[in-house]
């Protein structure tokens, strides 16, 4: 009898590991091994055509001390990230508006959200067209209102290119922020507002004292999405500006792609990747600390 | 927020929605009336709309080939995601040694964005000979941690007594899975299908790296290439954009409810 139970248990264990194996294999192959491999590569001189050679900190020294483009890409990524609150603020306003009991609010929600599932490459092409110097909508409006005499080449001007790309990026992610915030708003008990109203709190005070604190996890989640977005937004940059003009819109991820797959400097790109990853982990840790350490936790039980 | 009159709210939302819709409208208009491209001022309402540019796209590039490639990759990704994530999610509902470690491993994998793994991922794919292939494009997307946890939560919500009752009645385990657990997890399955489809349909960086053959390009690659190759046929470029956007938007509008529910349930637990 004991033997039968043991055999049954072994069979179940086999089944469990058999079920886990494919997913584990994929994550091992495309997440864990690449990360470790990047670490190794970054300390080597290596290219597909010659054997590896130990390089010590050579690539890191090169990057941190001599590579201006790296620093440019680093700061651009940071600016991209710092722009997330603007999008979140707009999304918060929209979420509050579509949370009110008005007619057609589902239609409004759908329209605001519609830009999110759209292919980013297409978004880039559409926005590049809107920014066009001669026939773009923005210049058309600006000229019609008499604000400018001649069209502005937004994406070809170093100081305007990054903000222009950021606007397009906010446009795309706005609906997603809105849905996250709306879910948070709908989880707040209406009785809290009623009690506060009876106590004589005005609308602004209710917003400050009830809505904002209870919405904190949702706002935090939006921030995390914003951070990830600024580290991974490759498609939009590639299509709209390809990092130009003169690296004004270069992000770390586009720079890594350029160094690895255009210049074939895989070892240097690996070092860039490691710095990029550490930066990302540091920010995620910081955000988690600032939000009280509990946010983003998944129930593991 | 009740102090605002309704018309103010409608006005505010109207302006926001207009801002969200204008880019779509502009590209649609341009795809229908190429002759206005260099006209100034641009007409706001399309004059003499026609579909010539759509026909152009269909014949001037292997659009159908790109479409087939995109569809093949999406099918592989969607099927693999549903099956593998459900399997892994099911395994995580059971007790076994090392379960905590596995969960920690999954969660830390979530912290590694795919974009920082592209170089070794490319080298690995080259080693296993999957460069330039549908499977190579699909493989990194074939399982998703977020969706594993969606399935786990869904399976956990099934009452244990139901399964025990079936066991006592002598129903074999595999039949319990197909007859009880799968039908009761329909919303998790729907969420996973939609998310996996959108991810693979829009995926750009990975195919860009591993695909060299013209025959293997997917729609986003074709679109990006079209942008750099044919500079004078703006109308056709925008027709191409619309043709690529429509499938994603249609799927989204059909499955809006699950899509939004899936996004928020998968993401928000904080």
As for the ipTM of the complex, it is: 0.85
- Distance (Å) from the C-alpha of residue A4 to the closest C-alpha of chain B? 17
What is the rounded distance in angstroms from the CA atom of residue A195 to the CA atom of residue A197?
5
Determine whether A58 is exposed, middle or buried from the number of CB atoms within 10 Å of its CB (0-12, 13-18, 19+). middle
| pLDDT score of B270 | 33
Dump the DSSP string for chain B.
-TTS-HHHHHHHHHHHHHHHHHHHHHHHHHHH-GGGTT-SSPPSS-SS---HHHHHHHHHS-HHHHHHHHHHHHHHHHHHHHHHHHHHHHHTTS--TTHHHHHHHHHHHHTS-GGGGHHHHHHHHHHTT-TTSHHHHHGGGS--HHHHHHHHHHHHTS-HHHHHHHHHTT--HHHHIIIIIHHHTHHHHHHHHHHHHHHHHH--HHHHHH---GGG--HHHHHHHHHHH-SS-HHHHHHHHHHHHHHHHHHHHHTHHHHHHHHHHHH---
Kindly state the average pLDDT of the residues A184-204: 85
The 10s digit of each residue's pLDDT in A217-270 is 888 888 888 888 888 889 999 999 988 788 899 999 999 999 999 888 889 999
Q: Where are the alpha helices (DSSP H) in A115-211?
A: 120-130, 137-144, 158-186, 190-198, 203-206
DSSP tag of A142? H
What is the rounded distance in angstroms from the CA atom of residue A137 to the CA atom of residue A159?
20
What φ, ψ does residue B265 adopt, rounded to 5°?
-70, -35
Task: Please indicate if any CB of chain A lies within 8 Å of the CB of B45.
Answer: no
Tell whether the torsion through CA atoms of B164, B165, B171 and B174 is positive or negative. negative
Long-range contacts of B178-183 (CB under 8 A, 24+ apart): B181/B90, B181/B155, B182/B86
| pLDDT score of B36 | 54
Q: How far is CA A288 from CA A65, A150, B103, B270, in A?
A: 30, 47, 19, 11
| pLDDT score of A295 | 46
Residue A11 above 50 pLDDT?
A: yes
- Identify the residue among A32, A59, A80, A126 best suited for mutation to test binding to B, counting B beta carbons within 10 A and taking the highest: A126
DSSP tag of A297? P
CB B205 within 8 A of CB A234: yes
Residue A301 above 90 pLDDT?
A: no
> How high is the mean pLDDT of chain A?
86
- Distance (Å) from the C-alpha of residue B6 to the closest C-alpha of chain A? 7
CA-closest candidate to residue B236, choices B70, B64, B60 = B60
- Do the Cβ atoms of A239 and B140 come within 8 Å? no
| Chain B residues near residue A240 by CB distance under 8 angstroms | none
Helix, strand or coil, per DSSP, at residue A1: coil
| Residues of chain B where predicted confidence (pLDDT) is lower than 70 | 1-3, 34-44, 230-232, 259, 261-270
- Do the Cβ atoms of B37 and A135 come within 8 Å? yes
| pLDDT score of A297 | 44
| pLDDT score of B71 | 93
Residue of A nearest to B44 (CA): A137
Task: Please indicate if any CB of chain B lies within 8 Å of the CB of A282.
Answer: no
CA-closest candidate to residue B24, choices B203, B224, B241, B253 = B241
| pLDDT score of A296 | 46
- Identify the residue among A15, A28, A31, A128 best suited for mutation to test binding to B, counting B beta carbons within 10 A and taking the highest: A31
Q: What is the pTM of this model?
A: 0.87
| pLDDT score of A298 | 41
Q: What angle do CA A201, A207, A212 make, to 5 degrees?
A: 135
Residues 90-129 of B with CB under 8 A from A: 90-92, 94, 96, 100, 102-103, 105-107, 109, 111-124
Residue A162 above 90 pLDDT?
A: yes
**pLDDT classification of A169: cutoffs 50, 70, 90:** very high
The 10s digit of each residue's pLDDT in B98-141 is 899 999 999 888 888 888 889 999 999 999 999 999 999 999 99
């Amino acid at each position: 009898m004991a033997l039968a139970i043991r055999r049954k248990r072994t069979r179940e264990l086999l089944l469990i590991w058999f079920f886990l194996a494919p997913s584990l294999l994929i994550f091992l192959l495309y997440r864990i091994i690449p990360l470790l491999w990047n670490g190794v590569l970054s300390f080597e001189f290596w290219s597909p055509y010659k054997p590896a050679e130990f390089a010590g900190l050579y690539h890191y020294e090169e990057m941190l001390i001599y590579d201006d483009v790296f620093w440019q890409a680093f700061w651009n990524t940071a600016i991209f990230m710092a722009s997330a609150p603007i999008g979140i603020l707009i999304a918060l306003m929209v979420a509050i508006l579509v949370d009110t009991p008005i007619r057609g609010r589902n239609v409004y929600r759908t329209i605001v959200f519609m830009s999110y599932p759209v292919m980013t490459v297409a978004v880039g092409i559409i926005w590049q067209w809107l920014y066009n110097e001669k026939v773009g909508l923005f210049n058309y409006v600006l000229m019609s209102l008499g604000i400018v005499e001649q069209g502005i080449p937004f994406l070809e001007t170093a100081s305007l290119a990054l903000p222009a790309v950021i606007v397009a990026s906010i446009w795309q992610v706005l609906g997603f922020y809105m849905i996250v915030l709306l879910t948070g708003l709908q989880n707040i008990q209406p009785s809290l507002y009623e009690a506060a109203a009876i106590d004589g709190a005005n609308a602004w005070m209710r917003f400050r004292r009830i809505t904002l604190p209870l919405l904190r996890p949702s706002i935090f989640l939006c921030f995390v999405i914003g951070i990830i977005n600024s580290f991974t937004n490759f498609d939009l940059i590639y299509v709209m500006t390809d990092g130009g003009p003169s690296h004004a819109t270069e992000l770390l991820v586009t720079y890594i792609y350029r160094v690895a797959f255009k210049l074939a400097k895989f070892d240097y790109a690996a070092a860039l990747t490691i710095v990029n990853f550490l930066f990302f982990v540091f920010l995620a840790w910081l955000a988690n600390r600032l939000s009280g350490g509990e946010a983003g936790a998944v129930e593991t039980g | 927020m009740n102090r605002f009159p309704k018309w103010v709210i409608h006005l505010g939302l109207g302006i926001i929605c207009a801002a969200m819709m204008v880019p779509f409208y502009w590209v649609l208009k341009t795809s229908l009336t190429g002759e206005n491209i260099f006209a100034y001022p641009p007409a706001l309402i399309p004059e003499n709309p026609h579909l010539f540019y759509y026909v152009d796209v269909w014949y001037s590039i292997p659009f159908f080939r790109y479409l087939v490639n995109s569809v093949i990759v999406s099918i592989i990704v969607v099927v693999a995601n549903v099956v593998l994530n459900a399997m892994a999610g099911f395994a995580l509902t059971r007790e076994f040694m090392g379960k905590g470690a596995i969960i920690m491993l999954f969660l830390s994998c979530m912290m590694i964005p795919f974009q920082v793994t592209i170089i070794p991922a490319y080298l690995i794919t080259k080693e296993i000979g999957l460069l330039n292939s549908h499977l190579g494009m699909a493989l990194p997307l074939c399982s998703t941690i977020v969706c594993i946890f969606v399935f786990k939560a869904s399976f956990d919500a099934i009452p244990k007594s139901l399964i025990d009752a079936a066991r006592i009645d002598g129903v074999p385990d595999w039949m319990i899975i197909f007859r009880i657990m799968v039908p009761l997890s329909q919303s998790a399955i729907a969420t996973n299908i939609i998310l996996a489809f959108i991810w693979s349909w829009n995926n750009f960086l990975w195919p860009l790296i591993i695909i060299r053959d013209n025959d293997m390009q997917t729609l986003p690659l074709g679109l990006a290439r079209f942008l750099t190759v044919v500079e004078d046929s703006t109308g056709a470029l925008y027709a191409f954009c619309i043709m690529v956007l429509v499938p994603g938007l249609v799927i989204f509008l059909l499955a809006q409810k699950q899509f939004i529910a899936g996004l928020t349930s998968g993401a928000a637990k904080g």
